[in-house]
Amino acid sequence: MPPEPRIAVIGAGLGGITLAALLQRQGFPVTLHEQAPAFARIGAGIVLSGNAVKVLRRLGLEPALLATGIRPAAFRSRDWITGALTYDLALDAASEARFGAPFLNIHRADLHEILLSALVPGTLRLGQGLLGVNQRGETLRLDFADGSRAEADLVVGADGIHSRLRALLFGEAPPRFTGRMAQRAIFPTANLHGLAMDDCTKWWGPDRHALTYFMTGARDEVYVMASVPGEEWDGTDLSRPLPRAEFLASFAAAAPDLRRIAEGAESCMVWPILDRPRDDRWHEGRAVLLGDACHPVRPYMAAGGASAIEDAAVLARCLAAAPGHAAAFTAYEATRIPRVAEVQRISLANTWMRGPEEELDWFFGYDACTALIEGLAA
């Protein structure tokens, strides 16, 4: 396909920004439409595994990621109640050589800022929540909530789990509440009062788990995320403040070290954990979806963001190499759906990196920028 089609990307999340930046490097005219009027610094960290870092390396972002986030010395699994070590994966030079890139932990807002730096100035249109898409001939007309309009030849829905574009293509279907909540806190390491904390640990409990890690190379900021049972989420708000006492209550039966880490929290937030049953409808006509818009997962493999970034790399390659958008979208789906289905399966089972028996190379070692594209000549 010649690099002429005008591509509108809806949603400036991890997948949307990555896609827009990759497409621009291939010469496509791209606009990126984001509903938020400005980006908030939400209190959360993110695990960026080697497969995601390899894509962002193509955008020249690896030095900034390394300077801002942390390469944890190891990923550890521990028992929630006893604190016993059940898995210890060194994340050293040998593991970076094995997977082809470092494993990083970083503040989401820092990652977002670094991603935005890869865009050509003027690409991002804030305050443009997509409302509708109409096709006239080969041109799409996009209508936004602020009354503005745009024209494009192709539209990509990178608009997350509540995707408007997905609803327009395939009908309204709210995501399902999984009966679990993600409780999160970020606080200065000084709040640990000298407690030695591993760089990155998943604590496995009978009905809950937690992830604790530093988010900066200076190890001066701690992130705690606990997935706990929760009642029905009654509302459309995406997150709410959580009283500190309720956050600490989630750790009442935890090992003393985990309890002491949780006690470092000052203010806490809670998110409902949502997903959707697998649905392999990812495109329709001139519109295609990526990331959480088409395959949201429970965050138990820490792979949803990395998968959206992989989607972006594969979709950009398909659009550049295929003879037309229909062939590009078909190749994209054929390449991505089997891999993402495995991520969905493991995320549901919540087994990832619990112990040494898990095979890691297929996920961390993957390079979406060079991997075989199904149905397209190499």
Ligand X SMILES: Cc1cc2nc3c(=O)[nH]c(=O)nc-3n(C[C@H](O)[C@H](O)[C@H](O)COP(=O)(O)OP(=O)(O)OC[C@H]3O[C@@H](n4cnc5c(N)ncnc54)[C@H](O)[C@@H]3O)c2cc1C
* # binding residues, ligand X (CB under 6 A): 33
291 binds ligand X (CB under 6 A): yes
Catalytically active residues, by annotation:
213
Rule CB under 6 A: say whether 185 interacts with ligand X: no
- Positions 267 through 286 that interact with ligand X (CB under 6 A): 271
202 binds ligand X (CB under 6 A): no
Q: Pick from 50, 205, 230, 305: which binds ligand X (CB under 6 A)?
A: 305
Part in contact with ligand X (CB under 6 A); list of ranges 55-63, 192-200, 247-255, 288-296: 288-296
Min CB(194)–ligand X separation in Å: 27
- Scanning 29-37, 132-140, 231-239, 251-259 for contacts with ligand X by CB under 6 A, the matching segment is 29-37
User: Could you tell me if 70 and 61 are in contact, meaning their C-beta atoms sit under 8 angstroms apart?
Assistant: no
200 pairs with which residues across the strands?
A: 213
Residues 229-268 that bind ligand X (CB under 6 A): none
Query: Partners of 156 in the beta sheet?
Result: 9, 288
Work out the number of other CB atoms within 10 angstroms of the CB of residue 309.
27
List of long-range contacts for 354-361, beta carbons under 8 Å, 24+ apart: 354/77, 354/86, 354/87, 354/202, 354/204, 355/77, 355/86, 355/87, 356/87, 356/89, 360/89, 360/99, 361/98, 361/99
Query: Which residues are paired to 106 by β-bridges?
Result: 46
Q: Is 158 in the site for ligand X (CB under 6 A)?
A: yes
C-beta nearest to ligand X: residue: 13
Number of H-type helices and E-type strands within the chain = 11, 19
The Cα–Cα gap between 164 and 173 comes to 10
Q: Are strands 7-10 and 74-79 parallel, antiparallel or unpaired?
A: unpaired
- Determine the Cα–Cα distance for residues 350 and 300; give it in Å rounded to an integer: 6
Nearer to ligand X, 57 or 376 (CB): 57
Beta carbon nearer to ligand X, 35 or 335 = 35
Closer of 113 and 327 to ligand X (Cβ)? 113
Q: Which of 80, 103, 159, 270 binds ligand X (CB under 6 A)?
A: 159
Looking at beta carbons only, is 339 or 376 nearer to ligand X?
A: 339
Residue 227 to residues 9, 40, 299, Cα–Cα distance (Å): 31, 23, 9
Alpha-carbon distance 313 to 74, whole Å? 27
List binders of ligand X among 68-127 (CB under 6 A): none
Give the residue, chosen from 20, 106, 225, 242, that forms a contact with ligand X under the rule CB under 6 A.
Answer: 225
For ligand X, the binding residues (CB under 6 A) are: 10-16, 33-36, 46-47, 129-130, 158-160, 162, 164, 182, 225, 271, 291-293, 299, 302-306, 308
